[in-house]
Amino acid sequence: MQETIYSVSEAVGILELQSHVLRYWEEEMKLPIKRNELGHRYYTRWDIQVFLSIKELKKKGYSLKEIGKLAELFYQKQEKESRISPEFMEIISKLVKAQLKEKKTGEDRYKKLDERIRNYQQSRREVAAALEKKNSKKKGIFSRR
């Protein structure tokens, strides 16, 4: 079975990070990221999962040095077992669900803001129309005399 691999740009899209952040994390934590025959980095599903874990731990306030020790354990475990442990998959699953929920919450927030903006614009148009109508009535009264 062929392993799924991701280019740097694909990984950046999945992880919602910039490529220089990935390079920095790789160098600081000495992650064993593979390269193709041209020397370009590529990532496996396992690498993506490790990066997701790192990202989440960073959000929780852990330093790269602390996280680096865990990353080493993730890769040691991968070498011992060719499959991903259920515990690790459960953690990753929770992280991905939380990330999707956070993204949805953000989208909902923007939708509510858009709705409020539309309501304010509509109110503004109504007030402007009422003022225009009021001003035209006043002009009509004064022009009759």
- One domain for residues 107 and 56: no
Per-residue pLDDT of the chain (145 residues; tens, 9 = 90+): 467 788 898 888 888 889 999 999 988 888 888 998 889 999 888 888 888 888 888 888 888 887 877 776 777 665 555 555 667 667 766 776 676 676 666 677 777 888 888 888 998 899 989 888 888 877 666 555 5
Are 2 and 57 within one domain? yes
> What's the pLDDT tens digit per position in 69-78?
777 677 766 5
Q: Record the pTM.
A: 0.52
Q: Final residue of a domain: which of 84, 114, 132?
A: 84
Report yes or no: 32 and 75 within 8 Å, Cβ to Cβ: yes
Q: Are strands 34-35 and 41-44 parallel, antiparallel or unpaired?
A: antiparallel
Alpha helices in the chain (DSSP H): 8-15, 19-29, 45-59, 64-80, 86-144
Count of structural domains, the chain: 2
Q: Report the CATH number at residue 42.
A: 1.10.1660.10
Residues 75 and 27 reside in one and the same domain: yes
Q: Which residue, 53, 45, 61, 68, is CA-closest to 99?
A: 53
Q: Quote the domain boundaries for residue 103.
A: 86-144
Say if residue 14 is in the same domain as residue 36: yes
